[in-house]
Amino acid sequence: MTEEKLVCKNIVKTYGKTDVLQNVDLELEKGKIYGLIGRNGAGKTTLLSILSAQNPATKGTVTCNGMPVWENREALEHICFSREINPMGTTGQGNAYRVKDYLRAAAWYMPNWDKEMAERLVKEFNLDTKKKVMKLSKGMLSMLTIVIALASKADYTFLDEPVAGLDVVMREYFYRVLLEEFTESGRTFVISTHIIEEAADIFEEVIMIDKGKIIVKENTQDLLDRAVHVSGKAEEVDAATSGLNAMRVEKMGRSKGVTVLLKEGESVQKNADITVQPVSLQQLFVAMCGKEVG
Amino acid sequence: MNEFLTQEKSIYLQISEMIENDILRDILLEEERVPSTNELAKLYAINPATAAKGINILVEQGVLYKKRGIGMFVATGAKNMIKKRRQEEFFDNYIKRLLEEAESLGITKEDLIAMIERER
Protein backbone atom coordinates (compact mmCIF):
# COMPACT_ATOMS: atom_id res chain seq x y z
CA MET A 1 0.00 0.00 0.00
CA THR A 2 1.21 3.48 -0.76
CA GLU A 3 1.60 5.85 2.11
CA GLU A 4 -1.09 8.45 2.60
CA LYS A 5 0.59 11.63 1.56
CA LEU A 6 0.22 14.55 -0.77
CA VAL A 7 3.48 15.02 -2.58
CA CYS A 8 4.63 17.55 -5.13
CA LYS A 9 7.92 17.21 -6.89
CA ASN A 10 9.88 19.82 -8.71
CA ILE A 11 6.95 22.12 -9.35
CA VAL A 12 7.63 25.05 -11.63
CA LYS A 13 4.97 27.59 -12.52
CA THR A 14 5.68 30.27 -15.04
CA TYR A 15 3.38 33.13 -15.95
CA GLY A 16 4.84 34.81 -19.01
CA LYS A 17 8.46 35.37 -18.10
CA THR A 18 8.03 35.22 -14.34
CA ASP A 19 8.70 32.06 -12.38
CA VAL A 20 6.07 32.16 -9.67
CA LEU A 21 7.18 28.81 -8.30
CA GLN A 22 10.70 27.52 -8.69
CA ASN A 23 11.32 23.81 -8.25
CA VAL A 24 9.08 23.33 -5.27
CA ASP A 25 9.25 19.99 -3.47
CA LEU A 26 6.74 19.43 -0.72
CA GLU A 27 5.35 16.52 1.23
CA LEU A 28 2.18 16.84 3.26
CA GLU A 29 1.50 14.10 5.75
CA LYS A 30 -1.85 12.92 6.92
CA GLY A 31 -3.11 14.40 10.18
CA LYS A 32 -1.20 17.63 10.47
CA ILE A 33 -2.03 21.31 10.40
CA TYR A 34 0.44 23.18 8.25
CA GLY A 35 0.82 26.92 8.19
CA LEU A 36 1.77 28.40 4.85
CA ILE A 37 3.32 31.81 5.25
CA GLY A 38 4.90 34.14 2.76
CA ARG A 39 4.72 37.73 1.63
CA ASN A 40 2.27 38.97 -0.96
CA GLY A 41 3.14 37.48 -4.32
CA ALA A 42 5.41 34.81 -2.81
CA GLY A 43 3.41 32.06 -4.53
CA LYS A 44 1.14 30.76 -1.76
CA THR A 45 -2.12 30.73 -3.67
CA THR A 46 -0.47 29.42 -6.82
CA LEU A 47 1.04 26.55 -4.85
CA LEU A 48 -2.29 25.64 -3.25
CA SER A 49 -4.09 25.79 -6.58
CA ILE A 50 -1.52 23.48 -8.17
CA LEU A 51 -1.65 21.04 -5.25
CA SER A 52 -5.42 20.84 -5.72
CA ALA A 53 -5.22 20.60 -9.54
CA GLN A 54 -7.17 23.81 -10.05
CA ASN A 55 -4.24 25.15 -11.98
CA PRO A 56 -1.75 23.17 -14.12
CA ALA A 57 1.92 23.26 -13.21
CA THR A 58 4.36 24.29 -15.93
CA LYS A 59 6.60 21.46 -14.79
CA GLY A 60 6.56 18.85 -12.06
CA THR A 61 4.10 16.39 -10.57
CA VAL A 62 1.58 16.29 -7.74
CA THR A 63 0.42 12.97 -6.33
CA CYS A 64 -2.10 12.15 -3.64
CA ASN A 65 -1.63 8.75 -1.98
CA GLY A 66 0.45 7.76 -4.98
CA MET A 67 -2.08 8.89 -7.62
CA PRO A 68 -1.41 11.87 -9.88
CA VAL A 69 -3.99 14.56 -9.09
CA TRP A 70 -4.27 16.26 -12.45
CA GLU A 71 -7.64 15.43 -14.03
CA ASN A 72 -7.97 12.50 -11.69
CA ARG A 73 -11.33 12.41 -10.00
CA GLU A 74 -10.37 9.64 -7.62
CA ALA A 75 -7.39 11.57 -6.27
CA LEU A 76 -9.25 14.88 -6.16
CA GLU A 77 -11.94 13.41 -3.93
CA HIS A 78 -9.38 13.68 -1.14
CA ILE A 79 -8.58 17.33 -1.74
CA CYS A 80 -10.50 20.53 -1.13
CA PHE A 81 -9.15 23.98 -1.83
CA SER A 82 -11.64 26.48 -0.54
CA ARG A 83 -10.61 29.59 -2.41
CA GLU A 84 -11.36 33.15 -1.61
CA ILE A 85 -14.71 33.92 -3.22
CA ASN A 86 -14.79 36.78 -5.65
CA PRO A 87 -18.12 38.45 -4.93
CA MET A 88 -18.28 39.88 -8.45
CA GLY A 89 -18.02 36.43 -10.00
CA THR A 90 -15.77 35.55 -12.90
CA THR A 91 -17.95 37.16 -15.55
CA GLY A 92 -17.79 40.62 -14.08
CA GLN A 93 -21.59 40.72 -14.16
CA GLY A 94 -21.84 40.29 -10.44
CA ASN A 95 -22.53 37.09 -8.62
CA ALA A 96 -26.26 36.45 -8.53
CA TYR A 97 -25.94 33.27 -6.46
CA ARG A 98 -27.19 33.15 -2.95
CA VAL A 99 -25.27 31.58 -0.05
CA LYS A 100 -27.49 28.50 -0.15
CA ASP A 101 -26.80 28.02 -3.89
CA TYR A 102 -23.09 28.08 -3.13
CA LEU A 103 -23.50 25.50 -0.39
CA ARG A 104 -25.65 23.32 -2.63
CA ALA A 105 -23.00 23.44 -5.35
CA ALA A 106 -20.30 22.59 -2.82
CA ALA A 107 -22.34 19.64 -1.58
CA TRP A 108 -22.62 18.44 -5.15
CA TYR A 109 -18.89 18.70 -5.84
CA MET A 110 -17.61 17.27 -2.57
CA PRO A 111 -18.15 13.53 -2.23
CA ASN A 112 -17.79 13.58 1.57
CA TRP A 113 -19.84 16.73 2.20
CA ASP A 114 -21.11 16.95 5.77
CA LYS A 115 -24.45 18.70 5.49
CA GLU A 116 -25.09 18.80 9.22
CA MET A 117 -21.75 20.39 9.89
CA ALA A 118 -22.34 22.99 7.19
CA GLU A 119 -25.71 23.86 8.71
CA ARG A 120 -24.28 24.09 12.20
CA LEU A 121 -21.44 26.38 11.11
CA VAL A 122 -23.75 28.59 9.04
CA LYS A 123 -25.86 29.04 12.14
CA GLU A 124 -22.92 29.74 14.43
CA PHE A 125 -21.42 32.20 11.97
CA ASN A 126 -24.81 33.89 11.63
CA LEU A 127 -24.66 33.57 7.85
CA ASP A 128 -27.89 34.44 6.08
CA THR A 129 -28.30 31.72 3.45
CA LYS A 130 -30.78 33.77 1.47
CA LYS A 131 -28.33 36.58 1.01
CA LYS A 132 -26.69 37.07 -2.38
CA VAL A 133 -22.99 36.30 -2.38
CA MET A 134 -22.21 39.63 -4.02
CA LYS A 135 -23.89 41.37 -1.10
CA LEU A 136 -21.76 39.64 1.54
CA SER A 137 -19.21 41.59 3.53
CA LYS A 138 -15.56 40.55 3.46
CA GLY A 139 -15.96 38.81 6.80
CA MET A 140 -19.01 36.87 5.66
CA LEU A 141 -17.20 35.76 2.50
CA SER A 142 -14.42 34.43 4.71
CA MET A 143 -16.99 32.58 6.78
CA LEU A 144 -18.52 31.00 3.69
CA THR A 145 -15.13 29.72 2.49
CA ILE A 146 -14.49 28.32 5.98
CA VAL A 147 -17.84 26.51 6.03
CA ILE A 148 -17.08 24.96 2.64
CA ALA A 149 -13.59 23.91 3.68
CA LEU A 150 -14.60 22.32 6.96
CA ALA A 151 -17.78 20.64 5.73
CA SER A 152 -15.96 19.24 2.69
CA LYS A 153 -14.46 16.61 5.00
CA ALA A 154 -11.66 16.25 2.47
CA ASP A 155 -8.51 14.52 3.73
CA TYR A 156 -6.40 17.41 2.49
CA THR A 157 -8.08 20.74 2.99
CA PHE A 158 -6.49 24.02 1.97
CA LEU A 159 -7.62 27.39 3.23
CA ASP A 160 -6.24 30.51 1.64
CA GLU A 161 -6.34 33.45 4.04
CA PRO A 162 -9.39 32.14 5.87
CA VAL A 163 -9.29 34.74 8.61
CA ALA A 164 -8.74 37.82 6.46
CA GLY A 165 -11.75 40.00 7.09
CA LEU A 166 -12.82 38.25 10.29
CA ASP A 167 -12.85 40.20 13.53
CA VAL A 168 -10.72 38.90 16.38
CA VAL A 169 -13.62 37.09 18.09
CA MET A 170 -14.53 35.23 14.90
CA ARG A 171 -10.88 34.40 14.27
CA GLU A 172 -10.57 32.83 17.71
CA TYR A 173 -13.79 30.96 17.04
CA PHE A 174 -12.43 29.70 13.73
CA TYR A 175 -9.21 28.42 15.32
CA ARG A 176 -11.21 26.51 17.90
CA VAL A 177 -13.58 24.99 15.37
CA LEU A 178 -10.61 24.04 13.24
CA LEU A 179 -8.82 22.37 16.16
CA GLU A 180 -11.98 20.55 17.14
CA GLU A 181 -12.48 19.19 13.63
CA PHE A 182 -8.79 18.37 13.39
CA THR A 183 -8.66 16.39 16.64
CA GLU A 184 -11.83 14.50 15.78
CA SER A 185 -11.00 13.69 12.16
CA GLY A 186 -7.23 13.68 11.76
CA ARG A 187 -7.57 15.47 8.44
CA THR A 188 -4.70 17.49 7.01
CA PHE A 189 -5.08 21.24 6.80
CA VAL A 190 -2.91 23.77 5.06
CA ILE A 191 -3.70 27.31 6.10
CA SER A 192 -2.17 30.37 4.58
CA THR A 193 -2.27 33.54 6.61
CA HIS A 194 -0.73 36.95 7.10
CA ILE A 195 -1.85 37.05 10.71
CA ILE A 196 1.09 34.94 11.77
CA GLU A 197 1.33 35.78 15.43
CA GLU A 198 -2.03 34.45 16.51
CA ALA A 199 -2.06 31.42 14.22
CA ALA A 200 1.49 30.24 15.01
CA ASP A 201 0.35 28.03 17.88
CA ILE A 202 -2.16 26.26 15.66
CA PHE A 203 0.44 25.03 13.20
CA GLU A 204 2.26 21.80 13.84
CA GLU A 205 4.55 22.62 10.95
CA VAL A 206 5.29 25.85 9.22
CA ILE A 207 6.02 26.19 5.52
CA MET A 208 7.69 29.47 4.63
CA ILE A 209 7.67 30.48 1.01
CA ASP A 210 9.72 33.34 -0.38
CA LYS A 211 9.91 34.42 -4.02
CA GLY A 212 8.57 31.11 -5.29
CA LYS A 213 10.81 28.92 -3.17
CA ILE A 214 10.15 27.04 0.02
CA ILE A 215 12.79 28.26 2.44
CA VAL A 216 11.55 26.51 5.59
CA LYS A 217 9.43 23.46 6.32
CA GLU A 218 9.80 22.46 9.91
CA ASN A 219 7.96 21.70 13.13
CA THR A 220 6.94 25.14 14.43
CA GLN A 221 8.20 24.58 17.98
CA ASP A 222 11.52 23.12 16.83
CA LEU A 223 12.02 26.08 14.53
CA LEU A 224 11.27 28.61 17.27
CA ASP A 225 13.52 26.74 19.70
CA ARG A 226 16.50 27.42 17.48
CA ALA A 227 15.76 31.07 16.80
CA VAL A 228 17.00 33.80 19.15
CA HIS A 229 17.44 37.53 19.09
CA VAL A 230 20.74 38.85 20.42
CA SER A 231 21.25 42.51 21.26
CA GLY A 232 23.69 44.74 23.10
CA LYS A 233 26.91 46.58 22.33
CA ALA A 234 27.89 45.83 18.75
CA GLU A 235 31.27 44.20 19.56
CA GLU A 236 29.74 42.02 22.25
CA VAL A 237 26.93 40.91 19.89
CA ASP A 238 29.45 40.17 17.15
CA ALA A 239 31.57 38.13 19.52
CA ALA A 240 28.59 36.16 20.79
CA THR A 241 27.23 35.43 17.31
CA SER A 242 30.40 34.97 15.29
CA GLY A 243 30.16 31.98 13.00
CA LEU A 244 26.40 31.72 13.47
CA ASN A 245 23.65 32.29 10.91
CA ALA A 246 22.77 35.89 11.77
CA MET A 247 19.90 37.56 9.92
CA ARG A 248 18.36 40.97 9.87
CA VAL A 249 21.00 43.08 11.52
CA GLU A 250 19.62 46.19 13.20
CA LYS A 251 22.04 48.91 14.26
CA MET A 252 21.64 52.07 16.24
CA GLY A 253 24.70 53.91 17.40
CA ARG A 254 26.87 51.47 19.37
CA SER A 255 23.96 49.09 19.78
CA LYS A 256 23.19 46.16 17.55
CA GLY A 257 20.57 43.45 17.32
CA VAL A 258 20.52 40.30 15.21
CA THR A 259 18.17 37.41 14.76
CA VAL A 260 20.03 34.12 14.79
CA LEU A 261 18.86 30.76 13.51
CA LEU A 262 20.96 28.17 15.31
CA LYS A 263 21.91 24.85 13.82
CA GLU A 264 21.99 21.62 15.78
CA GLY A 265 24.57 21.88 18.56
CA GLU A 266 25.07 25.62 18.22
CA SER A 267 24.30 28.07 20.99
CA VAL A 268 24.77 31.70 21.87
CA GLN A 269 27.14 32.13 24.78
CA LYS A 270 25.09 34.12 27.26
CA ASN A 271 26.75 36.83 29.29
CA ALA A 272 25.76 39.93 31.20
CA ASP A 273 26.64 42.25 28.30
CA ILE A 274 24.11 40.89 25.84
CA THR A 275 20.39 40.26 25.90
CA VAL A 276 19.24 36.97 24.40
CA GLN A 277 15.52 36.74 23.74
CA PRO A 278 13.20 34.21 22.18
CA VAL A 279 11.79 35.07 18.78
CA SER A 280 8.17 34.72 17.69
CA LEU A 281 7.25 33.15 14.38
CA GLN A 282 6.27 36.54 13.02
CA GLN A 283 9.60 38.08 14.04
CA LEU A 284 11.48 35.17 12.52
CA PHE A 285 9.45 35.46 9.32
CA VAL A 286 10.29 39.16 9.02
CA ALA A 287 13.96 38.37 9.66
CA MET A 288 14.01 35.71 6.95
CA CYS A 289 11.72 37.22 4.32
CA GLY A 290 11.71 40.91 5.14
CA LYS A 291 13.86 43.74 3.91
CA GLU A 292 17.20 44.42 5.55
CA VAL A 293 17.17 47.36 7.92
CA GLY A 294 19.74 49.99 8.83
CA MET B 1 -4.54 25.97 34.15
CA ASN B 2 -6.09 29.25 33.17
CA GLU B 3 -2.97 31.32 32.88
CA PHE B 4 -2.41 33.23 29.66
CA LEU B 5 0.20 32.01 27.22
CA THR B 6 2.96 34.51 26.49
CA GLN B 7 5.45 34.99 23.69
CA GLU B 8 8.35 34.90 26.13
CA LYS B 9 8.80 31.18 26.12
CA SER B 10 8.05 28.06 24.10
CA ILE B 11 4.38 27.17 24.29
CA TYR B 12 5.06 23.57 25.32
CA LEU B 13 7.30 24.71 28.20
CA GLN B 14 4.52 26.99 29.36
CA ILE B 15 2.05 24.10 29.23
CA SER B 16 4.28 21.89 31.38
CA GLU B 17 4.97 24.77 33.80
CA MET B 18 1.28 25.52 34.17
CA ILE B 19 0.53 21.92 35.03
CA GLU B 20 3.40 21.99 37.53
CA ASN B 21 2.05 25.19 39.09
CA ASP B 22 -1.38 23.62 39.40
CA ILE B 23 0.14 20.62 41.15
CA LEU B 24 2.11 22.87 43.54
CA ARG B 25 -1.04 24.86 44.31
CA ASP B 26 -3.17 21.74 44.86
CA ILE B 27 -5.38 22.59 41.92
CA LEU B 28 -4.38 19.22 40.51
CA LEU B 29 -3.99 16.54 43.16
CA GLU B 30 -1.78 13.46 43.09
CA GLU B 31 -3.40 10.46 41.40
CA GLU B 32 -5.85 12.77 39.69
CA ARG B 33 -6.37 12.90 35.94
CA VAL B 34 -4.92 15.91 34.11
CA PRO B 35 -6.61 17.41 31.03
CA SER B 36 -5.92 15.53 27.81
CA THR B 37 -3.83 16.97 24.99
CA ASN B 38 -7.01 17.61 23.03
CA GLU B 39 -8.62 19.41 25.95
CA LEU B 40 -5.51 21.55 26.39
CA ALA B 41 -5.33 22.18 22.65
CA LYS B 42 -8.88 23.44 22.67
CA LEU B 43 -8.51 25.52 25.82
CA TYR B 44 -5.44 27.36 24.58
CA ALA B 45 -6.14 27.14 20.84
CA ILE B 46 -2.85 25.40 20.20
CA ASN B 47 -1.90 22.40 18.11
CA PRO B 48 -2.46 19.13 20.00
CA ALA B 49 1.07 18.02 19.10
CA THR B 50 2.44 21.03 20.98
CA ALA B 51 0.26 20.28 24.01
CA ALA B 52 1.49 16.68 23.87
CA LYS B 53 5.08 17.89 23.85
CA GLY B 54 4.46 19.79 27.09
CA ILE B 55 2.80 16.79 28.71
CA ASN B 56 5.60 14.48 27.60
CA ILE B 57 8.21 16.56 29.40
CA LEU B 58 6.34 15.84 32.63
CA VAL B 59 5.94 12.16 31.79
CA GLU B 60 9.69 11.87 31.25
CA GLN B 61 10.32 13.48 34.62
CA GLY B 62 7.90 11.10 36.30
CA VAL B 63 5.54 13.89 37.36
CA LEU B 64 2.75 12.46 35.22
CA TYR B 65 2.11 8.90 34.19
CA LYS B 66 -0.11 7.31 31.62
CA LYS B 67 -2.97 4.98 32.35
CA ARG B 68 -3.70 3.14 29.18
CA GLY B 69 -6.97 4.12 27.61
CA ILE B 70 -7.86 6.53 30.42
CA GLY B 71 -5.36 9.37 30.26
CA MET B 72 -2.57 11.09 32.11
CA PHE B 73 -2.42 11.17 35.90
CA VAL B 74 -0.41 13.04 38.50
CA ALA B 75 2.10 10.66 40.06
CA THR B 76 2.31 10.17 43.81
CA GLY B 77 5.17 12.31 45.06
CA ALA B 78 4.87 14.66 42.09
CA LYS B 79 4.60 17.76 44.24
CA ASN B 80 7.85 16.99 46.04
CA MET B 81 9.54 16.11 42.79
CA ILE B 82 8.62 19.48 41.28
CA LYS B 83 9.69 21.38 44.38
CA LYS B 84 13.04 19.62 44.47
CA ARG B 85 13.72 20.28 40.82
CA ARG B 86 12.74 23.92 41.11
CA GLN B 87 15.01 24.26 44.15
CA GLU B 88 17.87 22.91 42.08
CA GLU B 89 17.09 25.35 39.29
CA PHE B 90 16.67 28.24 41.71
CA PHE B 91 20.33 29.19 41.54
CA ASP B 92 20.43 29.34 37.76
CA ASN B 93 17.02 30.93 37.33
CA TYR B 94 17.13 33.51 40.10
CA ILE B 95 20.43 33.89 41.96
CA LYS B 96 22.61 34.02 38.87
CA ARG B 97 20.47 36.70 37.28
CA LEU B 98 20.27 38.59 40.55
CA LEU B 99 24.05 38.60 40.82
CA GLU B 100 24.47 39.73 37.23
CA GLU B 101 22.06 42.62 37.67
CA ALA B 102 23.66 43.53 41.02
CA GLU B 103 27.09 43.56 39.43
CA SER B 104 26.05 45.79 36.57
CA LEU B 105 24.56 48.22 39.09
CA GLY B 106 27.59 48.14 41.39
CA ILE B 107 25.72 46.53 44.27
CA THR B 108 28.20 44.63 46.41
CA LYS B 109 27.77 41.20 47.89
CA GLU B 110 27.51 42.78 51.35
CA ASP B 111 24.76 45.14 50.15
CA LEU B 112 22.87 42.18 48.74
CA ILE B 113 23.10 40.15 51.91
CA ALA B 114 21.99 43.18 53.93
CA MET B 115 18.97 43.58 51.66
CA ILE B 116 17.98 39.94 52.13
CA GLU B 117 18.38 40.14 55.89
CA ARG B 118 16.29 43.31 56.05
CA GLU B 119 13.45 41.57 54.18
CA ARG B 120 13.45 38.40 56.27
Handedness of CA A181, A183, A187, A189 (dihedral sign): positive
Q: Are A151 and A115 in contact (CB under 8 A)?
A: yes
CA distance B59 to B21: 15
Q: What is the pLDDT of residues B78-116, one digit of tens each?
A: 999 999 999 999 998 899 889 988 998 999 999 999 999
What's the pLDDT at A3? 76
Q: For the sheet with A79-82, list strands across it.
A: A79-82, A156-160, A188-192, A33-38, A205-210, A213-219
Question: How many domains is chain A built from?
Answer: 2
What's the pLDDT at A89? 63
Stretch A24-44: mean pLDDT = 95
Q: Are A23 and A69 members of one domain?
A: yes
> Does residue A188 carry a pLDDT above 60?
yes
From residue A106, alpha-carbon distances to A38, A150, B38 in Å are 28, 11, 29
Query: Which residue in A33, A203, A272 is closest to B104 by CB distance?
Result: A272
Q: Are A171 and A255 members of one domain?
A: no
Record: contact B50-A204, CB cut-off 8 A: yes
Q: Are A205 and A264 members of one domain?
A: no
What's the pLDDT at A265? 87
Q: Are A34 and A66 members of one domain?
A: yes
Specify the range with the lowest mean pLDDT, choosing from A35-44, A219-228, B90-99. B90-99
A172 in contact with B, Cβ within 8 Å: yes
Q: Are A215 and A245 members of one domain?
A: no
What's the pLDDT at A7? 96
Query: B81-88 — which CB contacts under 8 Å span 24+ positions?
Result: B82/B20, B82/B23, B82/B24, B83/B24, B85/B61
Stretch A86-102: mean pLDDT = 73
What percent of chain A stands above pLDDT 90? 76
Reference A102, options A93, A89, A120; nearest CA is A89
Q: A294 lies in a domain?
A: no
* Domain hosting residue A63, numbered range: 5-219
- Per the DSSP assignment, residues forming a β-bridge with A250 are A257
> Does residue B2 carry a pLDDT above 80?
no
Q: Are A68 and A117 in contact (CB under 8 A)?
A: no
Give the residue from A188, A219, A250 where a domain finishes: A219
Please count the residues of chain B. Answer: 120
> Does residue A104 carry a pLDDT above 90?
yes
CA distance A146 to A180: 14
Looking at CATH, the fold of the domain delimited by B11-77 is given as Arc Repressor Mutant, subunit A (1.10.10)
What's the pLDDT at A38? 95
CA distance A148 to A142: 10
Cβ-Cβ contacts under 8 Å for A97 (sequence gap 6 or more)? A89, A105, A132, A133
Q: Are A169 and A264 members of one domain?
A: no
Reference B81, options B52, B59, B97; nearest CA is B59
A225 in contact with B, Cβ within 8 Å: yes
Give the residue from A219, A236, A257 where a domain finishes: A219
Q: How many CB atoms lie within 10 A of CB A108?
A: 9
Give the residue from A219, A246, A270 where a domain finishes: A219
CATH number of the structural domain spanning residue A75: 3.40.50.300
Q: What is the pLDDT of residues A114-168, one digit of tens each?
A: 999 999 999 999 999 999 988 888 899 999 999 999 999 999 999 999 998 899 9
Mutate to test the interface with A, among B5, B6, B7, B12 (most CBs of A within 10 A): B7
Which residue in A has a C-alpha nearest to residue B47's C-alpha? A202
Record: contact B48-A272, CB cut-off 8 A: no
Which helix (H) or strand (E) segment holds residue A288: the answer is helix A281-289
Q: Are A53 and A9 in contact (CB under 8 A)?
A: no
Record: contact A221-B50, CB cut-off 8 A: yes
Q: Are A55 and A9 members of one domain?
A: yes
What's the pLDDT at A93? 55
CA distance A88 to B101: 61
What's the pLDDT at A271? 79
CA distance B8 to A134: 43
Q: What is the pLDDT of residues B7-63, one digit of tens each?
A: 778 899 999 999 999 999 999 999 999 999 999 998 889 999 999 999 999 999 999
What are the residue boundaries of the structural domains of chain B, listed by start? 11-77, 79-119
CA distance A272 to A28: 43
What's the pLDDT at A87? 72
